[in-house]
Amino acid sequence: MSAKPIVKAFYDDRTSSVQYVASDPETKRCAIIDPVLDFDEKSGATATRHADAILAYIKEEGLEVEWVLDTHPHADHFSSARYLKEKTGAPTAIGEKVVEVQKLWKGIYNWPDFPADGSQWDKLFAEGEQFKVGNIEARVLFSPGHTLASITYVIGDAAFVHDTLFMPDSGTARADFPGGSASRLWDSIQEILSLPDETRIFTGHDYQPGGREPKWESTVVEQKRENKHMAKCKTREEFIKVREERDQTLPMPKLILHALQVNMNGGRLPEPEANGKRYLKFPLDALEGAAWD
């Protein structure tokens, strides 16, 4: 835990998402974590502004990209992992349970020929698997609950916890997506909070409660002491009750049906049709019981 990567965050205010570059100051090697491909659902336009900002930072700092990492198939933004692989040559990676998400969503999208085998990434990480960013030791925690496939990357003293924990004033992630589970989310959070107290926690989103400025970094001890769900809920049963009651009031993310078809395909946009245009497909009435705005 003594190794301390330099962590640079990039906040996307359109989707309240946080993207990261974690670098080894000794070797100048780095990993990109949860990068965003810009998308405007009103016009259907895509862009690479955020990905290009990440690339500009990497060039400015003289870094070499060793990994392009996703923590899970995101439901609220497109992944730019594929674009960044093309630009850097670095391998893409995600947790091996992504195949379970692919199997679930290929049915929802009625894509019988979709290869639900994880082959869209260069590397599928197993629970507990170890790797390196430069000379910094890194490992993978399996952190389901928000999704079937969610993982946490622990890189030196930094844990990238995706959508399990938010900042302490925001609590924890929802667990009502297809394949989600409040009970499994509790277990995942307990494992994260069993890391050393000084471990830095980097979240995947910040929704700026009360209109404050975006924040994304805390520590394990701060989360244990101040997280508005975890400090309040002392048992699994209490947490499940709080989490499920809250989830029943939440509408689905506005891009969930747009984003999953891209993100379960490794960040690849649909292939162009005969007229050269790309088209998204999403089902009607597939997410029954979801709250409306």
- In the predicted structure, residue 95 carries a pLDDT above the cut 90: yes
User: Which CATH number does the domain housing residue 237 bear?
Assistant: 3.60.15.10
Q: Is residue 278 part of a domain?
A: no
Instruction: With respect to residue 144, please indicate whether it lies within any of the assigned structural domains.
Output: yes
User: Is it the case that residue 37 has pLDDT exceeding 60?
Assistant: yes
Q: What is the pLDDT of residue 288?
A: 85
Range of the domain at 65: 6-263
**Is residue 280, in this structure, part of any structural domain at all?**
no
- Which one-letter amino acid corresponds to residue 205? H
Domains: count for the chain: 1
Q: What angle separates helix 182-193 from helix 236-247, to the nearest 10 degrees?
A: 120
Confidence of residue 2 (pLDDT cuts 50, 70, 90): low
Residue 101 located in a structural domain = yes
Rounded to two decimals, the pTM is 0.96
Is 287 within the bounds of a domain? no
Q: Tell me the mean pLDDT in the region 244-248.
A: 95
User: Is position 14 within any domain?
Assistant: yes
